[in-house]
Amino acid sequence: MTALVSARGVSKSFAGVEVLRDVDLDLAAGEVHALLGENGAGKSTFARIVAGVHRPTSGTIALGGAPVDIASPVIAQSLGITLIHQEPISFPDLSVAENLVLGRSAGGPLARVPWAAMTRDARRLMDVLGVRIDVTRPMRGLSIADQQMVEIARALASDARLIIMDEPTASLTPNEVATLFTIARRLRDEGRAIVFISHRLEEVRDLCDRVTIFRDGARVETAAIGALSDAEIIRRMIGRPHQDYMHKTGVAIGGVALKITGLTRRGAFADISFDVRHGEIVGMGGLVGAGRTDVARAIFGVEPADSGTIEIDGKPATIREPSDAIALGLAFVPEDRAVAGIFRSLSVEANITAAVPGKIAPRGFIRRAVEKTLAADAVKRLRIRLASVRQPIGELSGGNQQKAILARWLMTDPSVLILDEPTRGIDIGVKAEFYDMIGDLAAQGRAILLISSELPELLALCDRVLVMSEGRLTADIPRSEATQERIMSAAVPASAGAAA
Amino acid sequence: MIGALLARREVGLIVMIALVALVVGLIEPRFLTAETLRIVTLAIPLILVAAMGQMMVILARHVDLSIGAILGFAAIVAGMIFRDMPQLPTIVGVLAAIACGAVLGLANGLVVTTFNLPSIIVTLGTLSLYRGLVFLVSGSKQVDPQFIPRGLISMSQTSPIFGIPWIVLIAFAIALATWAFLGYTRTGRQIYAIGSNPVAAPLRSIRVTPVTLFVFTLSGALAGVAGVMYAARFGYVNPGITGVGFEFIVIAAVVVGGVSINGGVGSVLGVTLGVIFLGMVNVALPILGVSAFWQSAIYGAVILLALVVDRTVRIRGAAALTLSRGTA
Amino acid sequence: MTDASLPAPGVQNAAPARPRWQVLLVRPETGTLLLLVGAIIVAANLSPFFSDLRFILESSTYYMEFGLVALVLTLVIISGEIDLSPAAMMALSACVFASLFQAGLPIGLAMVAGVATGAALGAFNGFLVVVLQLPSIIATIGTLTLFRGLSQVLAGDRSISGFPAWFMGIDWRTVGIVPYPVIGFTLAALALAVLLGMTVWGRQIYQIGVSEIAARHAGVRVRRIKFGLFVAMGVTSALAGLLTASRLASVRYDMATGGELQMVLMVMLGGTYIFGGRGGVLGTFLAAWLLVIIATGMNVANIVVTSQLVVMGLLLIGSIIATNAIYARTQR
């Protein structure tokens, strides 16, 4: 097989953290190539580098044997490389036909737009793909599946040689998936290369010829799909077992602190029921987009659920706003620290004391001395590295920012603590500190719900692991029975049909 | 199908225009005469021309608050050329006015794009700056009617066809040209694309900065045209009056015509109907015995109403999107 | 779904804090203060009038009305919103006050009604922004037009006057040589500076401006605070409208026309960030005095009022560009 695209030694770092390490990979014309891996394993980063979204920190990419510098998505397109996003880029107010043409048409600024020819070509493309989309209607309101079809049509129109589909089936129905696969196969048979990123193993088996597995930013293995069993694929995705974290010991598990019954929000998650006891660490695993964060946000009142009940210490709770949740003893460390966590330009002390205005300002007036003492104590206790508590928090490292956010919530003395990916983007050393802290918090009798995509983290820390998949709770595994394989197989949807 | 038709802003506007004509005509039969039609058509050319420019700015997700001052500046420059250099042909003054408008518009665009600042605040500043320039250039003196060339004034009185004055024909010609430009040229479509999704536009090799500059320049130039029309229509130019508060009328006409303040949506037909609607209301008010003092309040209410409608439509659109995800 | 492997920005080792003098120097208020000092020196050389504090104070009262509103507007802009309708609210609440007074209501009650009108108008803005979630920058363009129009409906082109002597000429009443409006403005600036700088409420306004999402997650009642700010804008505008009525001894619908520019200018010139989260009342306070000096200076230098528009426009644009540049440098 001759390689259409050859990557050699491709690495990528974001702000000093290496997310892709020395990847060699060949993509051949006429094959559908699956990229598999856990969240954050590097497969999406690799795809984006090939598509010109990111530039590699080091390494080279050759196209048809000649090295190329894919500096931008526009250049990638001109080279015949198209990335189809999970939620495709579109101009919602323009017609389907225009979305197809935009950016490809030639001519000067006043060149005439050939509506008739444009519409005709668009119809022809849709016919080629065998999809029925009215090309004169606006993109707005088109289903995700149809938007993807339009993107694929775009790729065809620009005669793309490599089409990368990043989790294209995540929000498709079984019929839509079938249509997509038919088209993908046909494109392959025409001699194009297709890269298919998905978590659904059955789909991968159905569609793909070869598979490459990523783990921790490195390529682990490339093989023909038939050469590996599901169990072998999953084992390679999770890799060596980590046993370096200590589980808390000797903590008495108390009464139910948080009880969720039938929580549902349309379009996000349905019928979620579980409870978390005092002193218990309950993990929540699943793939990105499974609805875990949505559940946490609903419990905390950021975006309340449509139906279902929340009880705290046996009493029904009404939570419409985060401030209600805080008053009831809940705390939430959000996943997206940069947006929902820190106040970037404000001081560390203002960040740490943000959730306890009553403590620093008993009569409304902030007592700077009290504030400083509280913040300094927290800084010492959590070993936050900084120059001054008056320093803007944006100047701290990611791990120290995260510690400050945790410190903010410890100030409220919460009985229930929800941690959403608390160790994402944090150095290994600091991670271990976090694990100790989480153990200590449970030992103090707090109930902890830990959302994490890192399986070793869940296995090491949690008394029980809940698993979500496609908006539903699919497993509740006690510590004694929890293995990476069990969590992973509950997290990976068996097939697209399971969602519908 | 009928629902889709009714949902279109243009249809709604035609219904509203007919409704106003009917209701006012029933109350006061005087309203339904050729004379009223003439007054309405004379009331709209300035707004229509400036609205074409403002429409493009809003389509690209910006707002230009300075067009009233640009109109004033262009008008005073034209008026002063007419007054102080009567030997020059009229067209020189006209072209100078349009050029001035284009330059001031370009200046708006340059500040907005270079420093990446909100256009409303920038043009709030230039609104004051340009109005000040009007006073400076003119020495705060009005250009009196006797200096405005007869030929120019006759543009709003004489007609080549069907008794429709020149000035009205020119305005509609500009609207037609805008329609062709926005609908049928590459740049026109790119304006829609930028407003519809500014982040994605560069990914489709659209050069956002030049297009944005062009849009502001065109808006200024069209305000310049409106400035000349002001001189032709009213026969004088006063630094403290000409074009003051004009921006709000134009913005009202544009948003009531269905141009989304979030960019990317709007048609020339809609804006034209919006201008006609506002013109009708203005003419109807005195006939109904309602004080002309209501005008500004109506503009304000119309702007707010259009914003609320726009937002409702968008929320519905988003709901339809999530719905089709589940059921498609 | 964003790339799961993308770490949050800011992953770096603990950076040393900037030295204090440097922090002070890059504060935009410092720039405002320097400009103010410079303007005073230039003006004092230009005309002996400026050695006379009494003269400056007397000529400042016009700006105190806008300055009062600009102080509250500072809080609104720090919270990430904007209100372009205050000048129109001044006019409308003053027109309500004057019309009721003319209709025979005791002047005290009419004043209360005027202020209540301001509160209602502010609440209307708040409703549009907080409940209907319209962008404040364009929604308040709409209400600016609406409120100004309603003033015209109410007052026509009349000038309403005939107020009792005690109501009129507040700008001529002084404590020592300081006119009442100056005292009012200064006290208000102090009070708001304390509120913004020393209370939880002020802290939360900054938090909302820096990141509304993070503020909500931290339990800040964002909607309530924003709504409150818009109501405060209305009330303050109404008070400023009454001050103007007292100074002019009459009320017309076109009161304070174009005032929104002056108010936004004071806030921007005071170094508050147009995109929210940074700035302060002290800057606005200094900027108001800077405008007093510049405007009075131009008057003394016989530069006509109308061409001062040029200066104001240039100042507004220049100050946003400068403030943006300063914050962009320190943002990182």
Three-class DSSP category at C220: coil
Q: Which residues of B touch C84 (CB under 8 A)?
A: 120, 124
User: For C216, which of A170, A302, A342 is closest by C-beta distance?
Assistant: A302
* Cross-chain residue pair A93–B321, CB shorter than 8 Å: no
Secondary structure letter of residue A333 according to DSSP: E
- Buried/exposed code over B280-312 (b: 16+ C-beta within 10 A; e: otherwise): bbbbbbeeeeeeebbbbbbbbbbbbebbebbbe
**What angle (nearest 5°) sits at the alpha carbon of residue A432, between those of residues A429 and A438?**
145
Residue B315 contacts C where some CB pair is shorter than 8 Å = no
Q: What is the pLDDT of residues B39-80, one digit of tens each?
A: 777 778 999 999 999 999 999 999 999 999 999 999 999 999
- Those residues with Cβ within 8 angstroms of residue B60's Cβ, 6 or more apart along the chain or in another chain: B191, B194, B195, B211, B212, B215, B263
* Cross-chain residue pair A44–C13, CB shorter than 8 Å: no
Pick from B124, B141, B120: nearest CA to B242: B141
Q: Which residues of A touch B265 (CB under 8 A)?
A: 93
Residue A189 CA, chain-centre distance (Å), reads: 32
**Least confident stretch, A349-353, B14-18, B154-158:** B154-158
Q: Which of B1, B194, B196 is the best substitution to test chain A (most A C-beta atoms within 10 A)?
A: B196
Locus of tokens 């707004």: B47
Q: Do the domains A3-238 and A245-329+414-500 sit in the same CATH topology, yes or no? A: yes
Two tokens, residue A142: 């088109």
- Residue count (chain C): 332
Complete DSSP assignment for C273-302: -TTSS---HHHHHHHHHHHHHHHHHHHHTT
Residue C308 contacts B where some CB pair is shorter than 8 Å = yes
Pairwise CA distance, residues A148 & C45, whole Å: 70
Pick from C300, C266, C297: nearest CA to C28: C266
Q: Which residues of A touch B325 (CB under 8 A)?
A: 143-144, 171, 267
Residue A337 contacts C where some CB pair is shorter than 8 Å = yes
Pairwise CA distance, residues C59 & C38, whole Å: 19
End-to-end Cα spacing for chain B: 20
Q: What is the pLDDT of residues B235-253, one digit of tens each?
A: 889 988 888 889 999 999 9
Q: Which residues of chain C have pLDDT under 50?
A: 1-16, 332
Q: Which residues of B touch A112 (CB under 8 A)?
A: 184-186
Q: Which of A72, A74, A93, A154 is the best substitution to test chain B (most B C-beta atoms within 10 A)?
A: A93
Smallest CA–CA distance from C220 into chain A, residue: A323
Domain ranges across chain A = 3-238, 245-329+414-500, 345-411
Q: Which residues of A touch C217 (CB under 8 A)?
A: 300, 302, 322, 332, 334, 340-341
Residue A323 contacts C where some CB pair is shorter than 8 Å = yes
Find chains touching chain C: ≥3 CB pairs under 8 Å: A, B
The distance of C275 to chain B (nearest Cα, Å) reads: 9
Q: List, in sequence order, every residue forming a beta bridge with C307; answer none if it has no partner.
A: none
Outline where B86-147 has alpha helix (H).
90-115, 119-138
Pairwise CA distance, residues B283 & B42, whole Å: 10
Two tokens, residue C201: 């409420």
* Cross-chain residue pair B297–C149, CB shorter than 8 Å: yes
Pairwise CA distance, residues A295 & A490, whole Å: 18
Write phi, then psi, for B62 (nearest 5 degrees). Answer: -130, 175
Two tokens, residue A338: 């940069």
- Give the amino acid at B92: V
* Cross-chain residue pair B132–C308, CB shorter than 8 Å: yes
Pairwise CA distance, residues A160 & A163, whole Å: 7
Pairwise CA distance, residues C113 & C99, whole Å: 10
Q: Which CATH architecture has domain A3-238?
A: 3-Layer(aba) Sandwich (3.40)
* Cross-chain residue pair A94–B204, CB shorter than 8 Å: no
Secondary structure letter of residue C27 according to DSSP: -
Secondary structure letter of residue A62 according to DSSP: E
Instruction: Say how many C-beta atoms besides its own lie within 10 A of residue A440's C-beta.
Output: 12
Residue A343 contacts C where some CB pair is shorter than 8 Å = yes
| Cβ contact A210:A225 at 8 Å | yes
* Cross-chain residue pair B130–C313, CB shorter than 8 Å: yes
Q: Which of B137, B255, B304, B315 is the best substitution to test chain C (most C C-beta atoms within 10 A)?
A: B304
Two tokens, residue A115: 């509506």
Residue C16 contacts A where some CB pair is shorter than 8 Å = yes
| Cβ contact C237:C69 at 8 Å | yes
Q: Show pLDDT as tens, one digit a residue, over chain A (500 residues).
A: 578 899 999 999 876 678 889 999 999 999 999 998 876 788 888 999 999 988 999 999 999 889 999 988 888 888 999 988 877 788 988 999 999 888 776 777 788 888 898 999 999 988 888 888 899 998 888 887 888 888 888 888 888 899 999 888 876 777 788 888 998 999 999 999 999 998 778 889 999 999 999 988 899 999 999 998 888 888 888 765 444 555 656 678 889 999 999 999 998 899 999 999 999 999 999 887 789 999 999 999 999 999 999 999 999 999 999 999 999 999 999 988 888 999 988 999 999 999 999 999 888 899 989 999 999 999 998 888 888 888 889 888 888 899 999 999 999 999 999 999 998 767 666 777 888 889 889 999 999 999 988 788 888 889 999 999 889 999 999 988 988 888 888 887 764 443 33
Q: Which residues of A touch C211 (CB under 8 A)?
A: 339-340, 342-344
* Cross-chain residue pair A395–C6, CB shorter than 8 Å: no
The distance of B290 to chain C (nearest Cα, Å) reads: 10
Residue A42 contacts C where some CB pair is shorter than 8 Å = yes
pLDDT at B327: 29
The distance of B125 to chain A (nearest Cα, Å) reads: 28
Pairwise CA distance, residues A212 & A225, whole Å: 9
Instruction: Say how many C-beta atoms besides its own lie within 10 A of residue A477's C-beta.
Output: 20
| Cβ contact C236:C68 at 8 Å | yes
Three-class DSSP category at A148: helix
Interface of A with C in 199-218 (CB under 8 A): 217
Outline where chain B has alpha helix (H).
2-7, 9-27, 34-43, 45-59, 67-84, 90-115, 119-138, 150-154, 166-184, 186-196, 208-234, 246-256, 268-287, 294-327
Q: Which residues of A touch C200 (CB under 8 A)?
A: 357, 360-361, 364, 366
Pairwise CA distance, residues A466 & A263, whole Å: 15
Two tokens, residue A207: 């569609």
The distance of A499 to chain B (nearest Cα, Å) reads: 10
Interface of C with B in 75-94 (CB under 8 A): 82, 84
Q: Which residues of A touch B326 (CB under 8 A)?
A: 267
Whether the predicted pLDDT of B175 surpasses 50:
yes
The distance of A405 to chain C (nearest Cα, Å) reads: 10
| Cβ contact A417:A331 at 8 Å | yes
Q: Which residues of A touch B201 (CB under 8 A)?
A: 91
Pairwise CA distance, residues B30 & C195, whole Å: 61
| Cβ contact C64:C244 at 8 Å | no
pLDDT at C4: 37
Q: Which residues of A touch B322 (CB under 8 A)?
A: 266-267
Two tokens, residue C117: 């009108």
| Cβ contact B314:B262 at 8 Å | yes
Strand A210-215 to strand A32-36: parallel, antiparallel, or no bridges (unpaired)?
parallel
In CATH, A245-329+414-500 is 1.10.10.10: no
* Cross-chain residue pair C146–B301, CB shorter than 8 Å: yes
Smallest CA–CA distance from B138 into chain C, residue: C307
The distance of A104 to chain C (nearest Cα, Å) reads: 27
Pick from A333, A185, C309: nearest CA to B138: C309
User: For B206, which of A73, A103, A143 is closest by C-beta distance?
Assistant: A103
Gyration radius of chain C over CA positions:
21
> What ipTM score was computed for the predicted complex, to two decimals?
0.85
pLDDT at B321: 42
Find chains touching chain A: ≥3 CB pairs under 8 Å: B, C
Three-class DSSP category at A447: strand
Domain ranges across chain C = 48-158+165-257
Say what the pTM is: 0.87
Two tokens, residue C116: 């209540």
Q: List, in sequence order, every residue forming a beta bridge with A205; answer none if it has no partner.
A: none
Residue B239 contacts C where some CB pair is shorter than 8 Å = yes
- Give the amino acid at A30: G
Two tokens, residue B286: 């005195």
Residue B277 CA, chain-centre distance (Å), reads: 13
Furthest-apart CA pair in chain B: how many Å?
A: 73
- Residue count (chain B): 328
C75: exposed, middle or buried (C-beta count within 10 Å: 0-12, 13-18, 19+)? Answer: buried
| Cβ contact B133:B73 at 8 Å | yes
* Cross-chain residue pair C312–B128, CB shorter than 8 Å: yes
Pick from A363, A362, A360, A339: nearest CA to A350: A360
- Give the amino acid at B212: T
The residue-averaged pLDDT of B205-211 equals 91
Pairwise CA distance, residues A218 & C321, whole Å: 45
Pairwise CA distance, residues A436 & A99, whole Å: 52
Locus of tokens 């262009």: B74
The distance of C93 to chain A (nearest Cα, Å) reads: 32
Residue C205 contacts B where some CB pair is shorter than 8 Å = no
Q: What is the pLDDT of residues C89-109, one digit of tens each?
A: 999 999 999 999 999 999 999
